[in-house]
């Protein structure tokens, strides 16, 4: 399915129904008087979060949404029916902006959460409403009001507990495949991943989390280089960032440089480490001999931040992946219990220690 994370739509609430002007005309009912009923209110345009959606692609084909008009009033005091709401399904994490002022109108973060973006018009009044002691036969009725009209910009920031970031071809997609049932495209050329992928990692009934594969970053990504910052915003909604590094065919200094490039781009985009803590995953260890792994561990021992949890894995053969998933699930569970906004993790709470060198 095509991934779309921005869309421009037009919405209009339903017009209010017109009031009725009518007089009662029945045998044996002298001076029946006015009996025109009020119209019905117009329907609202409502956005509703749907946990089964993960893209705004539906808005490529349809951009105009109107709620139903309210029914007109009738004789014998009959009121018009309220117009049906127009309910638009959007993915979790959708932000809604006024397209002209760029004002944030709201965001949908919980399943079934709703946001009214265009209210329907008020109903018109029938002539019965205007009857008074001095005006017993009013000959007037009012039309319904027009519904609100708005142009909206939808922006999707995917919701995930864990975000996988790194340089192109670091093995993020392969790691997501090894961790979950997600099947993102995997190839040996740069920028294989062109849009974020989500995967649910389920260890048991109580330990599960959602991981997102963020497309590869390069130097200058925060300023628009490569895929640019088009997908960096998706990392803002993750509680924990896992930096995946290609450890095959690289010495300790080159690995440190890879880590620094991604760290700089995240910081330039505003994803500071104190708010979005990072774990480190050294991938493709199956391509190194035991002796090469030992030498690399020793070389990196003094170069890496000892406070940053570090894991040595191979997404291809699965070694080290289960241990990584268990630690991530524990960290997510801790964050859920603390009920923190955006699941801010700390090293003390996660109780995960860096893997020892050699």
DSSP labels for 160-228?
EEEEEE-STTSSHHHHHHHHSS------SSTT---S-EEEEEESSSS-EEEEEEPPPP-TTGGGTSTTG
Of 145, 200, 173, 134, the closest CA to residue 12 belongs to 145
Residue 45 pairs with which residues in a beta bridge? 86, 118
User: Which range (50-54, 120-124, 151-155, 314-318) has the least confidence?
Assistant: 50-54
Max alpha carbon distance in the chain (Å)? Answer: 108
Token pair 């628009």 is at which residue? 224
What strand order describes the sheet that includes 278-283? 197-202, 208-213, 160-165, 238-246, 278-283, 310-312
pLDDT at 63: 94
pLDDT at 169: 82
pLDDT at 102: 93
Q: Work out the angle at residue 60's Cα, subtended by the Cα atoms of residues 216 and 217, and round it to the nearest 5 degrees.
A: 10
178 CB neighbour count, 10 Å cutoff: 24
What is the value of pTM for the model shown? Answer: 0.71
Tell me the mean pLDDT in the region 145-160: 92
pLDDT at 186: 55
Question: pLDDT higher for 252 or 98?
Answer: 98
pLDDT at 272: 63
Residue 314 in tokens: 């191979």
End-to-end CA distance of the chain: 44
Q: Provide the CB-side half-sphere exposure for 302 (13 A, CA).
A: 3
pLDDT at 195: 66
pLDDT at 112: 94
Tell me the mean pLDDT in the region 43-49: 97
Of 130, 126, 144, the closest CA to residue 82 belongs to 144
Residues 320-352: pLDDT tens digits? 999 999 999 988 888 766 644 443 444 455 444
On whether the CB atoms of residues 245 and 288 are closer than 8 A, the answer is: no
Of 18, 124, 14, the closest CA to residue 69 belongs to 14
Q: CB within 8 A of 356, min separation 6: which ones?
A: none
pLDDT at 122: 97
Q: Mean pLDDT, the chain, as a whole number? A: 83
On whether the CB atoms of residues 95 and 234 are closer than 8 A, the answer is: no
pLDDT confidence of 188, banded at 50, 70, 90? low
pLDDT confidence of 171, banded at 50, 70, 90? confident
pLDDT at 339: 43
Question: pLDDT higher for 331 or 249?
Answer: 331
Domains and CATH numbers, the chain: 6-156 (2.70.210.12), 160-350 (3.40.50.300)
On whether the CB atoms of residues 127 and 34 are closer than 8 A, the answer is: yes
Cα separation of 74 and 31, whole Å? 19
Q: Is 241 helix (H, G, I), strand (E, B) or coil?
A: strand
What strand order describes the sheet that includes 45-50? 86-91, 45-50, 114-118
Tell me the mean pLDDT in the region 25-35: 79
């Amino acid at each position: 399915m095509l991934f779309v994370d921005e869309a421009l739509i037009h919405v209009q609430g339903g017009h209010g129904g017109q009031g009725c002007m009518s007089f009662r005309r029945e045998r044996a009912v002298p001076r029946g008087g006015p009996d025109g009923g009020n119209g019905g209110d117009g329907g609202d345009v409502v956005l509703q979060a749907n946990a089964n959606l993960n893209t705004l692609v539906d808005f490529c084909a349809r951009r105009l949404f109107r709620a139903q008009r309210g029914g007109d009033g009738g004789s014998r005091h009959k009121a018009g029916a309220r117009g049906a709401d127009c309910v638009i399904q959007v993915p979790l994490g959708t932000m809604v902006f006024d397209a002209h002022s760029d004002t944030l109108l709201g965001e949908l973060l919980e399943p079934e959460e709703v946001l009214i973006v265009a209210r329907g018009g008020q109903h018109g009044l029938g002539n019965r409403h205007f009857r008074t002691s001095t005006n017993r036969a009013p000959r007037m009725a009012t039309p319904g009001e027009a519904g609100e009209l708005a142009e909206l910009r939808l922006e999707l920031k995917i919701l995930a507990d864990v975000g996988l970031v790194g340089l192109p071809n670091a093995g993020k997609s392969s790691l997501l495949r090894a961790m979950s049932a997600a099947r993102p495209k995997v190839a040996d050329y740069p920028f294989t991943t062109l849009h974020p992928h989500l995967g649910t990692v389920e260890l048991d009934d109580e330990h599960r989390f959602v991981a997102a594969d963020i497309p590869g970053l390069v130097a200058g990504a925060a300023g628009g280089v490569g895929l640019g910052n088009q997908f960096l915003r998706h990392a803002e909604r993750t509680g924990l960032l896992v930096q995946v590094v290609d450890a095959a065919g690289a010495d300790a200094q080159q690995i440190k440089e890879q880590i620094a490039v991604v760290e700089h781009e995240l910081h330039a985009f505003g994803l500071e480490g104190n708010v979005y803590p990072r774990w480190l995953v050294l991938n493709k260890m199956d391509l190194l001999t035991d002796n090469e792994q030992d030498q690399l561990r020793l070389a990196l021992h003094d170069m890496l931040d000892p406070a940053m949890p570090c894991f040595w894995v191979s997404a291809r053969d699965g070694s080290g992946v289960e241990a990584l998933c268990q630690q991530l699930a524990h960290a997510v569970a801790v964050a859920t219990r603390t009920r923190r906004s955006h699941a801010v993790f700390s090293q003390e709470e996660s109780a995960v220690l860096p893997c020892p060198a050699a």
